[in-house]
Structure 1
Amino acid sequence: MNTRFWRGGLNTLLIALLMSCGGGGSSSGIGSSSSGSVSASVAASTDGATLTAAVVSGGTDSGSTGSSAASGSTTTASNGNGSGVGSGGTGISVAGDATSVGAVDGIGSIIVNGLRYDIDNAAIDLRDAAALQIGMSVEVMGSVDASFTNGVATQVTSAADLRGPVTAIDPIGGSFVVMGTTVTIDEATVWADVSGLASLIPGTTIQVWGLPASPGVLRATRVQQQIPSAAPIATGTVQQLDLARGTFALGGLTVAYGSASFAGGIDPTTLTNGTIVRVRADTQASPGLLTATQVESWYPIPGATGTPIQLEGVITNYAALNSFQVLGRSIDASAAQITGGQASKIGNGVKIQVGGTLVNGVLVATEIKIKHIPGAGALPSFTLIGSIGNYVSAASFRVHGQLVNASAPDVAFVNGTQANLANGVKVTVVGAEVVNGILLASQVSFGP
């Protein structure tokens, strides 16, 4: 599936290049980006217990350099000894830069929607955590190899999307509210240090990585607790923009941006209703109002025709297969191959992975993978590839810093048995759920 997905994008890119060189004929604009996700390899310590980020150069964040799980950017040098695909060389041939936005599905390299990127030499902008972890939203830019399964990232950006106190919880509807934003969950939501929605307590400050859906709604991909004094963050679609007052709305939150800095390719003169933004503030002085210190475009996506793009997100503004949006980007999927469900199930609120090529600002998709349909079950897959560290038992060890429990009786062991688990042993761990920060393994494979 990945091969077809990226080849379609390259075909469109070649057509665009031929046209720019004077080639005749007309292009129908059919093309695609990767059906796999972009991923980036992160270096690990020798015991596989610590995940660190590669060197940061630039980025759009105006925060200070340093390391903090609550705010600011983390910048640490890659030690080059991780298990990412770049270690030892992969024979990458540059096929043109691609952009992918989604949630991290695995580490070693990082895996986003199934595609792995080596980031040994990438610039990494990691703003609200000490290390890349499963479930974090991320944007990756880089080239892919001839097999369209691995790549080399040039830039990896990740930041939290929401931070503040929980004000309401809907256990039946599967959602909660933070600063006027309704946060929905699904089977792929990673619970870093809580056991799930039922364990959330109103008033608790949490940090959420997620995918903006309809205005005022964020689909959570990772949830973890924060200290009460943590600086607020809000992400969503701009509504009710008032240029005279210098305010706009994100769901039920009014944002005052008059004294804020702008980043990510937008400024007060280009800000419009419908733009997806991430807002930072020092504090929230009163409920319902946030005085912004920074407003930035949320993971800005290149707009040039011929750019391969791959997105994971929730469908909005659905009219037909040739007219809907994901993460604010217009999609034409009329010629796309659809997997993971029936085409008739595609509509507003459905989470998908979509890949294609930009044509005059529209993502012309060649493949869609349905990842979650409201009211229907889905089985996500998280992957860790690396060496075991901090081994205590089959119920407690780490791979790239991620705690793993492989003690369940139905765990499948490949090329070995549970008795082979030990520090330094190279494994690939697959699981479908992260609860209380623990990946519950369904399969462990031994070997490189």
Structure 2
Amino acid sequence: MNTLVRLSLLLSSVLLVSACGGGSGSSAPAQGVSKGVITALGSVIVNGIEYNIDNAAIKIDDNPGTPSQLKVGMVVKVRGSADNSTRLGVAREVEAHDVLEGNISALGANTITVMGQTVHIEDNVTRLNDDNTVKVFSAANFQIGDRVEVHGFPDDQGGLRATRVAKITSSNDFEIKGYVLALGSGSFGLSLTPGGAAILTVTGSLPAGAGIGSLVEVRSNAAPVAGALTATLVKLEDRLAGAGEKVEVEGIVTSGSVDDFVINGQEVLTSSSTIFEGGLKTDFAVGVQLEAEGTLNGSGALVTSKISFRSNIKIEADLSALSSTSFSVVGKTVTINAFTRIDGGPLANGQHVEVRAIADRDGNLVARRIVVKGASSQTFIQGPVSAKDAAAGTLSILGLSVLTTSGTEFRISTDSAEQAVGQSAFFAQVTLGVTIVKARWNSSNTLAAAQQVEIELGK
């Protein structure tokens, strides 16, 4: 199908939903499985969906649990129904599984070592000791010998990016989850990602049905010694879902290309029909944090209908107020940390840069990637819209008020085509807190009316 025709059909369907009341109640909730981080409680919010858990079966590390045991920062698997138009769902089952459980054997700069694995902790992002007032590594007061459980994702550097680290006293087991590598006589290798580098050699027998590539939980009564662990139990973990089931998975891209890659141990496939949300296909890179949505095929790979970039905040502007830990663009302070990738550096004041960022727990911007570009007068910001006033023609993005007028270009775009729309149609597409909008200016004056505002459908 011609790309422009396909875009027109897609836009027409979106406009039809808006004409019917913005999509509320316009589609039946879909049954499926969602695996990601709990970002808020009350119910639980996972991958942007607020799930009611009043009647859900709760499991904590395979044991029956209660809603009060669910914590922000836990990585969970939710089985139930969800309506993407209302962002509401009903959970039948919620399973929480940590990645590591054991004693801290070493401390570093925002790192701890548990079960021989380096765990990276990000200030104002990683949840620490289930205490909302403890936001930075130093305040958590971790000590060698402390017993902790760790939730998080394997990263592209061979370590773990923690989403939650909490001290515990209720267990004497040492636990680690990973993927089976080469088999030996009464032993096997273990990796954090399928086919990845070996992190441990485990002495023990695999359960029935487990083989190379299987995800297993290994328990021991002692910590690893020199990369070797003696198992007291090896348990085969359940598959994420069955063939044909709808699945959403959040994680960091650890290997592969945009067409075939791995996040959180799950193989993900994209195609020409995959929609990229919060960015374009060209924004893909190993190390980027994504959410992939689609269905599992017979081989267990996730065939995607949509890819959502977690770091969907982008700014292009001149850099100023540079220090070792932060800088300023369009009047916004952006933090630099160990996870920030810099292309074309070193950074210097006055450089024209493109920044991809996330918002931390306090709403502050943290750079995930900075690209130094050639000198330019162009400025743009991209992020979720927090407020809109169609009558006044204003949008609030990243705390900045964006003014639009009759001279502003309103566009909806894909990877390969753009289509102009009217102001009223554009504003009708914007769902607060959900829709990502890019605003452009031909100067550094963001108080002036934007030259262009754009919703990137990414298809």
Q: Normalized against structure 2, the TM-score is what?
A: 0.54
Q: Secondary structure at the match of 1:378?
A: strand
Deviation for aligned residue 1:117 = 1.6
1:197 is the counterpart of 2:133? no
Deviation for aligned residue 1:153 = 1.4
| CA spacing shift, 1:359–1:120, aligned 2, 3 Å | same
Q: Which residue of 2 aligns with 1:161?
A: 99
Deviation for aligned residue 1:341 = 4.3
Q: Deviations over 1:29-53 (max 9, x none)?
A: xxxxxxxxxxxxxxxxxxxxxxxxx
Q: Distance in 2 between the 1:167 and 1:374 partners?
A: 26
| CA spacing shift, 1:237–1:97, aligned 2, 3 Å | same
Q: Distance in 2 between the 1:175 and 1:297 partners?
A: 29
Letter in 2 for 1:247: F
Letter in 1 for 2:152: G
Which has the higher mean CA deviation after the structures are superposed, 335-344 or 356-365? 335-344
Q: Which residue of 2 aligns with 1:133?
A: 71
Q: Distance in 2 between the 1:185 and 1:333 partners?
A: 31
1:211 is the counterpart of 2:153? yes
Q: Distance in 1 between the 2:154 and 2:80 partners?
A: 23
Deviation for aligned residue 1:377 = 3.9
| CA spacing shift, 1:290–1:107, aligned 2, 3 Å | same
Query: For residues 361-440 of structure 1, what are the structure 2 equivalents within 5 Å?
Result: 361-372=300-311, 374-375=340-341, 377-380=357-360
Q: Deviations over 1:331-378 (max 9, x none)?
A: 123443333445434222221111122234332223222225743642
Q: Secondary structure at the match of 1:104?
A: strand
Letter in 1 for 2:202: V
Query: For residues 100-115 of structure 1, what are the structure 2 equivalents within 5 Å?
Result: 100-115=34-49
Q: How well do the aligned residues superpose, as a CA RMSD in angstroms?
A: 3.6
| CA spacing shift, 1:249–1:195, aligned 2, 3 Å | same
Q: Normalized against structure 1, the TM-score is what?
A: 0.55
Deviation for aligned residue 1:225 = 1.5
Q: Distance in 1 between the 2:33 and 2:150 partners?
A: 23
Query: For residues 265-276 of structure 1, what are the structure 2 equivalents within 5 Å?
Result: 267-272=207-212, 274-276=213-215
1:257 is the counterpart of 2:204? yes
Q: Secondary structure at the match of 1:344?
A: helix
Q: Is the 8 A contact 1:253 1:288 kept in 2?
A: yes
Query: For residues 294-309 of structure 1, what are the structure 2 equivalents within 5 Å?
Result: 294-298=233-237, 300-305=239-244, 307-309=245-247
Higher strand share: 2
Q: Deviations over 1:253-301 (max 9, x none)?
A: 322223x7xxxxxx344321x3333222233374533332333345631
Q: Is the 8 A contact 2:105 2:145 kept in 1?
A: yes
Q: Which residue of 2 aligns with 1:181?
A: 117
Q: Distance in 2 between the 1:183 and 1:100 partners?
A: 24
Structure 2, unaligned runs of 5 or more = 1-9, 11-23, 192-197, 312-338, 342-355, 364-398, 400-432, 434-459
Count matched residues: 285
Letter in 2 for 1:379: A
Letter in 1 for 2:199: G
Match of 2:232 among 290, 293, 296: 293
1:226 is the counterpart of 2:171? no
* Structure with larger RCO (C-alpha < 8 A, sep 6+): 1
Q: Distance in 1 between the 2:25 and 2:275 partners?
A: 29
Which has the higher mean CA deviation after the structures are superposed, 182-191 or 285-294? 285-294
Letter in 2 for 1:333: T
Q: Which residue of 2 aligns with 1:17?
A: none
Structure 1, unaligned runs of 5 or more = 1-7, 9-89, 261-266, 384-411, 413-429, 431-448
Q: Is the 8 A contact 1:216 1:236 kept in 2?
A: no
Letter in 2 for 1:323: D
Q: Which residue of 2 aligns with 1:330?
A: 267
1:317 is the counterpart of 2:297? no
Q: Distance in 2 between the 1:101 and 1:370 partners?
A: 15
Q: Is the 8 A contact 1:212 1:236 kept in 2?
A: no
Letter in 1 for 2:57: A
- Whose radius of gyration is greater, 1 or 2? 2
Q: Secondary structure at the match of 1:135?
A: coil
